[in-house]
A and B are shown apart, each in its own frame.
Chain A
Amino acid sequence: MISLQTVFIAFFGIATIGFGILVFRTSSMVRSALALLFSQTALGAMFLAMQAEFLGVLQIMMMATEMSIMAIFMVMFMMDPGGLGAMEMSHQKRLSILAGVVGALATAGIALFTPWGVVVNVAPPAAEQIRALGTELLGRSMLIFETAGVTILTAMIAATAVALPALQRKRNA
């Protein structure tokens, strides 16, 4: 008996993987970035299918802006962003394919042969999830969350400092 949930999880899973493969199959950089975006969006939809509503919507929201910004950086930094010149942009192809397949098979094997124990079939309702996640964030996991916040701040400062042009850095110092 295949439930609707299984169908949705499979559908969005296939969509995610398909778009993920498409990222490296196209030579147009904007297509590549947007394929990654749709891969992540399908992932968000898959979270929704797994009844993690808050995380799904959050994933869909965060990735849109992130991948659009990715697109502009791709166009800035690639030699052939339009992909009209059919430039070769990969190396050590056989090794990479081998590593990818071995990695995927190994993880899938682990997933298949690990005794996962009892599977729970009922998820808590969405409203309760959000409340409990908030309590978790500001309760037991507060320190971890604070650390994440401070890490974001550090990364922002570091990224800006690295990206500033050398001349301007000297003038401001």
Chain B
Amino acid sequence: MNTLVIVLSLLAGAYLVAVLEAWLATGRFRLAAPAWAAVALLGRESIVPRTPDRIFFETAPVLLLVVALLVSAVLPLSPGLIIADMTTGALFVNAVLAYVPVALLMAGWGPNGGYALVGGWRFLGQTIAYSMLIVMPITAVAMRAESLLTTAVVTSQGAVWNIVYQPLGFVLFFTAAMAVSFLPPFDLPTAGGELAGGVEAEYTGVRLGVFRLGRMVLVVSLAAVTTVFYLGGWMGPVLPPWAWSAIKILAVSSTMLLTGHYLPRIREAHLLAWCWKLGIPLALLNIFIVGVMVLIWP
């Protein structure tokens, strides 16, 4: 039951995010746009390139979708509404997100195409840049909650939300979350106009549909992770808990899309340099500050 509700709400969220993305791209607000795009993709021929690595080519879009769904399995949308309240929930989020580059690497290698290959390897470089910025802010969040349970993380924010308690961690995690879901300005593996779609270049028809759906669900899942870890999850006045979750998740995902819309695409070398020379020291500083604060003002 919980599983069904969460999966359906994720899909609904992904649809709304797709509407927003289409709005930003075309400048027109059309509620039916993603539906028509999906129908068009389903109807189109599914071309398989010459001499592909068939296993990877077929698995990659599905793996991306599965990863995106698994992330949300440990996130509570309201008290009790959670698929699996794992004791190692916060670590599990990290573990699952580590499979996004695996999916993209497969998608890059599988179709035996130049642009796709460049896109796939590029994302691996991007992984090396962002992965520490996912792990270290989550460490600080778990330190405050004194638990890896995601529900405990939410209840630990009863007095003050983590966005106020550890703003530095929020900014780092938000940036890294955008990099995980390769949203602009971190859309290096797809890079329209430069790589001709990158990892998506050789995909058509149903497979492209699944890939895009997986990416949208990933965006929503990461927004949900940000909500649970930094924005107090389901907490809020007046409205019921699930409504607050929905509002916050949508707000975070549209902020992600809007931020990317107004920024130029970052260069791979710059991304690596900034993440390692600036991001990681800041993340360590964040852990230190939170450690001191937990002692004096829990």
Contacts and interface: CB of A to CB of B under 8 A. Distances in A.
Instruction: Check A-B contact in the complex, CB < 8 A.
Output: yes
Interface in A109-131: 125-127, 130
Interface string B62-103: 000000000000000000000000111001101100110110
Given A53-B86, A53-B87, A54-B91, A28 B53 contact: yes
B87 A127 contact: yes
Contact of B87 (A65, A68, A71, A130): A130
A57 B91 contact: yes
Nearest to A84: B51
Interface string A16-46: 0000000000001011001001000000000
Interface in A41-76: 53-54, 57-58, 60-61, 64-65, 68-69, 71-72
Interface string B104-121: 011001000000000001
A127 B90 CA distance: 13
Instruction: Name the interface size band of chain B.
Output: 20 to 34
A117 to B, nearest CB: 29
Contacts of A84: 51
B101 A68 contact: yes
Contacts of B109: 30
Interface in A64-111: 64-65, 68-69, 71-72, 84
B254 interface: no
Given A54-B88, A126-B88, A61 B53 contact: no
Given A30-B109, A72-B124, A64 B98 contact: yes
A64 B149 CA distance: 22
A12 B56 CA distance: 22
B122 to A, nearest CB: 11
B148 interface: yes
Interface in B43-58: 51, 53, 55-56
Interface residues of A, number: 22
A31 B95 CA distance: 21
A28 to B, nearest CB: 7
B155 interface: no
B127 interface: yes
Contact of B99 (A64, A125, A126): A64
28 contacts: A30-B56, A31-B55, A34-B56, A34-B106, A54-B91, A57-B86, A57-B88, A57-B91, A57-B95, A58-B91, A60-B98, A61-B94, A61-B98, A64-B98, A64-B99, A65-B101, A65-B127, A65-B128, A65-B131, A68-B101, A68-B102, A69-B124, A71-B105, A72-B121, A72-B124, A84-B51, A125-B87, A130-B148
